[in-house]
Amino acid sequence: MAESVLITGSAGFVGRALAARVRAEGRPCLGVGRSPREEQGYHAIDLSAGAGPLTELLSRERPSLIYHLAGGTAGGAQGMFSSNVSSTLHLFQAVQAVQGYQPRVLVSGSAAEYGDLGPEPISEDARERPVGEYGVAKLAETRLALLARRRGLRVGVVRFFNIIGPGMPGSLAPARFARESLALAAAGGGVLTVGDLSPVRDYVDLTDVVDALWTLGQRDPEEELLNICSGQPVRMGALLEEILRQVGVRVEVRTAENLLRGPGDVPVSVGDTRRLERVLGRRFTFDLSRSVARLVESLRGGSRAS
């Protein structure tokens, strides 16, 4: 029988797409999340509350590969530390509590850990300087993962930059821009409110992220840290322009004070891809038009379905 794979945060944006890939590869897929779901192989476990329930699941199923994608930005600083740091601590406590158990574990980090390091591509060796609570929480999560690796666990951290694709949270700029542009198109035009459109981000398509995660999961983590990025800078204004072009709507773009992030924002965040390219043996080529088209079409389909 094929060895099983466990995904924490399996109901999330990346988790759902990765679970589909795992099943397509013919591997049994176990999912873990806080909220109950009617889904085969899914287990409602709040990792932030303790290690016990996960220890029981790991003892029973012994998945050979764990993708730790659970986490979040909700609940202020306390909520972020609970969902990111506590959940990771309890994951490793659960793994270590199962006798003779040595799964491969990939932990999801974030570009937010790097903070404001200037306009040059950011390598995994850069000194982190997070500018907000989320970045601090994710950095603490990374430190726990690297501590587990030092203690002999087969662990690696993948730092996601800005992932774009169908199913992304509506609170993130690409999804909000696309959803509101479609609504304005249906209404015949109007006003689209935005924050600062000057920041530059490193977008990577969800399909490439899932490909990378699957490939990396098939071997012991070679590198303790690995950026998951395209290395291609995209200005937020250019992203919005492409969305409006594909939706086919002319709107008034208006800056809203409540959407300006101030000192918590980072002007430029672009990753260095060299280590990723060496490990994967290939490079991601980010196509803004293609990724926006997939996002817009998924939202159009959702609108038709509703």
Nearest-5° Cα angle at 298, 75 to 18: 65
Nearest-5° Cα angle at 242, 214 to 257: 100
Looking at the domain that runs over 5-164+204-228, which CATH code has it been given? 3.40.50.720
pLDDT for res 161:
98
pLDDT for res 301:
78
d(CA 266, CA 115): 7
pLDDT for res 279:
95
Please measure the distance between the N-terminal and C-terminal CA atoms of the chain and give it in whole angstroms. 40
pLDDT tens track, the chain, 306 positions: 689 999 999 999 999 999 999 999 999 999 999 999 999 999 999 999 999 999 999 999 999 999 999 999 999 999 999 999 999 999 999 999 999 999 999 999 999 999 999 999 999 999 999 999 999 999 999 999 999 999 999 999 999 999 999 999 999 999 999 999 999 999 999 999 999 999 999 999 999 999 999 999 999 888 999 999 999 999 999 999 999 999 999 999 999 887 777 677 899 999 999 999 999 998 888 999 999 999 999 999 764 443
pLDDT for res 302:
63
Are the C-beta atoms of 88 and 143 separated by less than 8 Å?
A: no
CATH 3.90.25.10 domain locations along the chain: 173-200+232-270+287-305
Strand order in the sheet with 29-33: 42-44, 29-33, 5-8, 65-68, 104-110, 154-160, 225-228
Amino acid, single-letter form, for residue 248: G
User: Looking at the domain covering 173-200+232-270+287-305, what would its CATH class be?
Assistant: alpha beta
pLDDT for res 261:
74
CATH 3.40.50.720 domain locations along the chain: 5-164+204-228
